[in-house]
């Protein structure tokens, strides 16, 4: 069904129910590491039970190598990465009416309410990881669109816990822990992880801030940025994406706090979930429209001229984000460019109707500002927080190991686990 850096996913049936089976890749150069990741994921999934965390159905061993496998819920509607990367062919074939309609305030308000609901669900899943055990917490360490998926009814599911860690909690607030640095996907990696400093569960908060920006912008953060530029501008200079002035002020403040370089200034997921719940409720009730699902593929006037009725599904709370391909577990194979695919118009589906999402704006640029200053630089721009760090001087990934530039698969705990 799909293949990640370490594992591959197959669709199967168990007692008449479609499931996903996750096993280490046959061509994996370090199968012991892949099986270790599956054991970690199994341990985590046995500890959690939440509506928005992918469910574990079972696990077992095969006679042939690699032995270990997991049986997981199947994600019929694919991943958030599918939506962000989009489908270039569908975007190219979109009607002129669709392109006009998706720029209207009604559509953008509808999109905002939907994304706030989805982000609130993701925050609740992460709150469960961080707080459901009184003496321990689980840090995901690889939060990205590839690891957020959707069931057939649109239910959001967080998955892929191969890099997760179960950590014994200390009494001190915001205590740091010695864990492997340079672990996860570099695009979403918190500064303290990049620098191999002690860190805590707030690394998930940092990644969530970037993910929330992506959901609202409907495109990849730092898209198209090369490896060297990414390291110099984002890692060293502390660049952050611009926040659209049309977004609610409280939402912009929340995002900027989530990706703050200072760990102590990042909110926890209890606070994040509550603030998103308030933002979602306010947006849903203050919007001056009926939350109607809009058929963006066809002009209703054209339909009326042909004598067909216009069927508009009216729903606010049940509208769900979906994507064109079914998938569960694992991410895409490695790429050598931060940006991955070009923006191609993601997809919403609601009761069989299609919503071609907004394409990305201009190519990102960077501005240099004073510390803690914020500066807009047009659509898709970034801000510099003024943090200056020592350069690595190698013009590349600064010594990061792993599969991020097409090398050998990343190795086990205790070494860098960097992915794109």
Using CA atoms, how far apart are residues 357 and 415, in angstroms rounded to an integer? 39
**Region at 24 (left for phi over 0; alpha for psi -120 to 50; beta for the rest):** beta
Q: Is 142 a catalytic residue?
A: yes
Peptide bond into 66 cis (omega under 30): yes
Which residues on adjacent β-strands are paired with residue 156? 150
Helix/strand/coil (H/E/C) assignment for every residue in 285-337: HHCCCCCECCCCCCCHHHHHHCCCCCCCCECCCCCCCCCCCCCCCCCCCCCCC
By C-alpha distance, which of 173, 162, 174, 166 is closest to 198? 174
Catalytic residue among 82, 85, 87, 142: 142
| Dihedral over alpha carbons 61, 409, 46, 166 (to 10 degrees) | 140
Residue whose entry in the numeric block shows the structure tokens 């609610």: 248
- Give the pair of three-digit tokens for residue 213: 């920006």
| Other residues' Cβ atoms within 10 Å of the Cβ of residue 237 | 17
| Dihedral over alpha carbons 257, 261, 267, 272 (to 10 degrees) | 50
Determine contact, residues 293/312, Cβ cutoff 8 Å: yes
Q: Are strands 68-73 and 136-139 parallel, antiparallel or unpaired?
A: unpaired
Q: Hey, which residues are catalytic here?
A: 142
């Amino acid at each position: 069904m799909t293949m990640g850096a370490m594992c591959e996913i197959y669709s199967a049936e168990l007692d008449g129910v479609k499931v996903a089976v996750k096993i280490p890749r046959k061509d994996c150069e370090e199968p012991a590491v892949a099986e270790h990741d599956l054991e970690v994921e199994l341990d985590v999934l046995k500890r959690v039970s939440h509506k928005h965390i992918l469910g574990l159905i079972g696990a077992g061993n095969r006679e042939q190598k690699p032995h270990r496998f997991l049986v997981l819920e199947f994600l019929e509607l694919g991943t958030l990465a599918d939506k962000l990367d989009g489908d270039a062919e569908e975007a190219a074939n979109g009607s002129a009416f669709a392109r006009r309609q998706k720029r209207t305030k009604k559509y953008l308000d509808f999109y905002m309410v939907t994304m706030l609901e989805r982000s609130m669900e993701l925050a609740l899943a992460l709150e469960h990881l961080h707080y459901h055990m009184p003496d321990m917490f689980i840090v995901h360490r690889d939060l990205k669109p590839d690891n957020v998926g959707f069931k057939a009814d649109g239910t959001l599911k967080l998955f892929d816990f191969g890099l997760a860690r179960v950590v014994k909690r200390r009494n001190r607030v915001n205590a740091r822990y010695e864990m492997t640095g340079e672990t996860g996907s570099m695009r979403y990696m918190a500064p303290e992880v990049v620098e191999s400093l002690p860190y805590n569960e707030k690394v998930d908060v940092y990644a969530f801030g970037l993910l929330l920006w992506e959901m609202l912008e409907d495109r990849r953060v730092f898209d198209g940025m090369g490896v060297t530029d990414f390291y110099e501008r984002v890692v060293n200079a502390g660049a952050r994406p611009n926040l659209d002035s049309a977004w609610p002020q409280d939402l912009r403040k929340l995002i900027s706090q989530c990706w703050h370089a200072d760990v102590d200034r990042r909110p926890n997921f209890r606070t994040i979930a509550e603030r998103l719940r308030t933002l979602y409720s306010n947006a849903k009730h203050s919007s001056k429209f009926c939350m109607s699902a809009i058929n963006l593929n066809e002009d209703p006037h054209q339909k009326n001229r042909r004598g067909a009725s216009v069927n508009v599904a009216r729903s606010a709370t049940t509208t769900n984000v979906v994507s064109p391909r079914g998938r569960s577990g694992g991410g895409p194979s490695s790429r050598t460019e931060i940006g991955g695919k070009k923006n191609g118009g993601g997809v919403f589906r609601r009761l069989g109707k299609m919503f071609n999402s907004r394409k990305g704006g201009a190519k990102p640029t960077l501005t240099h500002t004073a510390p803690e200053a914020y500066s807009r630089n047009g659509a898709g721009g970034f801000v510099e927080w003024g943090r200056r760090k020592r350069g690595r001087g190698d013009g590349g990934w600064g010594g990061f190991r792993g599969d991020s530039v097409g090398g050998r698969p990343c190795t086990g705990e205790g070494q860098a686990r960097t992915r794109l």
